[in-house]
């Protein structure tokens, strides 16, 4: 029996990374998962504990060096490690640049020294800013906040390493991934984590604006499938948008979850709609989303107790958490500061 091909997953104990680990193991890969456990949790990999094909390293990617044994013999590297919470990036831009840009550079150097066959980077659709929809890969880049900038600069580093060092690479700009194991950090963030904890507590859902804003939600197992397709394909040097191509309103999510609503102010710098044009990824990689939004939400609700330890947000605590966001990104405030 030939040995399993080796794949490295940075951020492997995180939300998307742990599902990537699942898919790779199921497809016959030996997996080395790396995570500093700041945003990830070992519990996300507990169901694979004891499998000889999985190795876990409690490491920060910024500590990786060329020649690191974790990358030795690896065929593919899937780079998910970094800080994913958006709102706190206004308060902590240095940490975001360090984790999302410098961390990517360290992973690139380790991958380059190991001679990996493909480096697949988890980029973000936030690089487009307030984009026209549906959004194609050639849309102008306009980051609105430090998280978006840091993820885009990480992407630029990936393609610079391809250009200068000939490291084969692809980048996938994720729109709105959701699913079980989604992050429940102490930061105010993704809508699912906020709403599920509120539902468990019998509290109203804090809907931003009027709830008509739409997001291109894609279930996390479909995300992992796309990343594997991008690695195994002969194509490289490509950027792919990744979503369901079928945006759903926040009001529709509320309808599926069931509960009362409290409306809170809309945040500046956030789009009314995110909508991936997925024509390129479907044509070139043969990838298609498999799970409907209704099916995905049902899977999450079936595991709702997983969010019992998540922070419980209300309008007052959200106002405190987003105060700097409003101060920095409201156009009038910016004009006063620089005028």
> Where do the DSSP E strands lie in the chain?
6-10, 30-35, 54-58, 74-79, 118-124, 169-174, 176-178, 205-208, 214-215, 217-219, 239-242, 248-249, 261-264
Count other Cβ atoms within 10 Å, centred on residue 330: 14
Q: Taking a C-beta distance cutoff of 8 angstroms, is the pair 145, 158 a contact?
A: no
Identify the active-site residue in 121, 128, 147, 240: 147
Residues 6+ apart with CB under 8 A from 34: 8, 9, 10, 11, 12, 56, 57, 59, 61, 64, 70, 81
Structure tokens at 30: 């030996």
Structure tokens at 34: 């790396």
Residue 64 is classified by DSSP as -
147 a catalytic residue: yes
Structure tokens at 209: 């604006």
The pairing of beta strand 6-10 with beta strand 30-35:
parallel
- Burial zone of 339 (CB within 10 Å; 0-12 exposed, 13-18 middle, 19+ buried): exposed
Report in angstroms the alpha-carbon separations of 323 from 146, 189, 210, 214, 315.
16, 14, 20, 23, 12
Cis peptide, bond prior to residue 240, ω within 30 of zero: no
Which residues are identified as catalytic? 147
């Amino acid at each position: 029996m030939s040995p399993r091909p080796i794949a490295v997953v940075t951020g492997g104990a995180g939300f998307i990374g742990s599902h990537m680990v699942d898919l790779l193991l199921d497809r016959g890969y030996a997996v080395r998962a790396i995570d500093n456990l700041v945003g990830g949790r070992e519990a996300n990999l507990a169901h694979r504990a004891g499998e000889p094909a999985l190795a876990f390293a409690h490491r920060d990617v910024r500590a990786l060096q060329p020649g690191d044994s974790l990358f030795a013999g690896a065929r593919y590297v899937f780079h998910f490690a970094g800080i994913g919470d958006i709102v706190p990036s206004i308060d902590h831009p240095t940490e975001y640049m360090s984790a999302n840009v410098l961390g990517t550079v360290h992973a690139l150097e380790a991958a380059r020294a190991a001679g990996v066959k493909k480096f697949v980077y988890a980029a973000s659709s936030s690089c487009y800013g307030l984009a026209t929809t549906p959004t194609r890969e050639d849309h102008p880049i306009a980051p609105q906040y430090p998280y978006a900038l840091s993820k885009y600069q990480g992407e630029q580093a990936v393609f610079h390493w391809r250009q200068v060092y000939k490291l084969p690479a692809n980048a996938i700009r994720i729109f709105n991934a959701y699913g079980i194991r989604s992050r429940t950090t102490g930061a105010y963030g993704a809508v699912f984590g906020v709403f599920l904890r509120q539902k468990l507590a019998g509290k109203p859902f804090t809907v931003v604006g009027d709830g008509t804003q739409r997001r291109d939600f894609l279930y996390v197992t479909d995300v992992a499938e796309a990343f594997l397709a991008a690695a195994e394909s002969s194509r490289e040097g490509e950027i792919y948008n990744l979503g369901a191509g079928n945006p759903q309103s926040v009001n529709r999510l509320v309808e599926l979850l069931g509960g009362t609503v409290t409306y809170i102010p809309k945040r500046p710098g956030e789009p009314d709609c995110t909508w991936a044009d997925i024509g390129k990824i479907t044509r070139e990689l043969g990838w298609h989303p498999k799970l409907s939004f209704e099916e995905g939400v049902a899977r999450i609700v079936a595991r709702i107790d997983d969010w019992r330890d998540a922070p419980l947000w209300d309008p007052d605590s959200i106002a405190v958490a987003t105060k700097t966001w409003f101060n920095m990104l409201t156009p009038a405030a910016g004009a006063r500061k620089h005028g």
